[in-house]
């Protein structure tokens, strides 16, 4: 009997692993056509690129960021690319009333919401922690508390549409990395809150999916405008990262987590980026491929 269990349990584990990580890709861009989507941090970087990809899929877009002039250009480009509609609300997430303003704009414009993509971040230095507690408080307001506030405000509409929440986070919220103490604290907070909320949704049978996108070092203004450290990772371009993110919410009915990181680390920043992502929309089927040296994994669970 003992020998049988020793053989059966590993085989069962292999069978379950195969089941959860070998689902076929079945993403169809038409599933996002006409969807009502909020994208925060959309004036540059990953948010801007996600807006363009969603525009090509003919979604309705509400974009938000601090800089109005940049948002105007992004909205114009989205309309050129085929967005069903595109508009913006500019403001700072440091303002505790702004998250509700954005969600209210979506409600007044569309009467509902299908996808909430939370992508904005506040400025933080990347160096030895200097003891500035006030900076951490300020960064938590932008990088964490405003995410919670946006979710709370949008949740009634998302429940009605059985929609999706996409949280763009960082590998700095999964593992400790030097020179990122304030930034990492906010990203760990995101992971803890939304992973816990995901489980509550499962228990309460709330059909709103939550996706955490765990990114590596991406070549955005916020990431590269920092002092040079003895060892830094190569930055992947946001235009390559974004295509893997918008497809996730259109399919999944099971909450999941998606990760992307550059393939090389601890190289001089000026070197070109070599990057490989997990398959677009892989969380929808609960499957992903893990490449040695290119951490790209999905975990799925749901009702």
pLDDT tens across 80-120, in order?
A: 999 999 999 999 999 999 999 999 999 999 999 999 999 99
- Residue 211's pLDDT is 95
- Residue 48's pLDDT is 96
Average pLDDT over residues 3-29: 64
Q: Hey, is 135 helix, strand or coil?
A: helix
Residue 302 has pLDDT above 70, yes or no: no
Rounded to a whole number, what is the distance in angstroms from the first to the last CA of the chain? Answer: 34
pLDDT digits (tens, 9 = 90+) for 255-265: 445 444 333 33
- Pairing outcome for strands 256-262 and 209-215: parallel
- Catalytic residue, candidates 21, 88, 147, 183: 183
Q: Respond yes or no: is residue 183 known to be catalytic.
A: yes
* 202 against 177, higher pLDDT: 202
> DSSP secondary structure string, 181-217?
HHHHHHHHHHHHHHHHHHHHHHHHT---EEEEEEE--
- Residue 57's pLDDT is 96
- Residue 31's pLDDT is 86
- Residue 216's pLDDT is 77
* 99 against 219, higher pLDDT: 99
Question: Which of 76-90, 251-265, 286-300 is modeled with the greatest confidence?
Answer: 76-90
Residue 291 neighbours by CB under 8 Å, 6+ apart? 263, 276
Say if CB 153 and CB 103 are below 8 A apart.
yes
**Averaged confidence pLDDT in the chain:** 77
| Whole-angstrom distance, CA of residue 177 vs CA of residue 214 | 14
Question: Among residues of the chain, what percentage have pLDDT more than 70?
Answer: 64
């Amino acid at each position: 009997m003992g020998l049988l269990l020793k053989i059966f349990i590993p085989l069962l584990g292999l069978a379950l692993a195969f089941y959860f990580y070998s689902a076929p890709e079945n993403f169809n861009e038409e599933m996002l056509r006409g969807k009502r989507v909020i994208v925060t941090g959309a004036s540059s970087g990953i948010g801007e690129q996600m807006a363009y990809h969603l525009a090509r899929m003919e979604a309705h877009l509400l974009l938000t960021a601090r800089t109005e002039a940049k948002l105007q250009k992004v909205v114009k480009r989205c309309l050129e690319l085929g967005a069903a509609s595109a508009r913006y609300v500019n403001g700072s997430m440091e303002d505790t009333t702004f998250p509700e303003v954005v969600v209210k704009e979506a409600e007044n414009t569309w009467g509902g919401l299908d996808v909430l993509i939370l992508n904005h971040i506040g400025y933080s230095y990347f160096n030895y922690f200097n003891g500035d507690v006030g900076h951490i408080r300020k960064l938590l307001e932008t990088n964490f508390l405003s995410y919670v506030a946006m979710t709370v405000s949008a949740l009634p509409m998302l429940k009605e549409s059985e929609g999706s929440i996409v949280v763009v986070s960082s590998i700095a919220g999964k593992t400790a990395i030097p020179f990122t103490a304030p930034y990492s604290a906010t990203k760990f907070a995101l992971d803890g809150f939304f992973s816990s909320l995901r489980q509550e949704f499962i228990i309460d049978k709330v059909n709103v999916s939550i996706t955490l996108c765990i990114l590596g070092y991406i070549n955005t203004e916020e990431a590269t405008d920092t002092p040079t450290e003895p060892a830094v990772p190569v930055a992947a371009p946001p235009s390559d990262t974004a295509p893997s993110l918008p497809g996730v919410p259109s399919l999944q009915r099971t909450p999941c987590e998606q990760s992307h990181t550059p393939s090389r680390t601890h190289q001089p920043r000026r070197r070109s980026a070599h990057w490989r992502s997990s398959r677009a929309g892989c969380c929808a089927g609960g499957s992903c491929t893990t490449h040695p040296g290119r951490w790209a994994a999905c975990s799925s669970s749901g009702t």
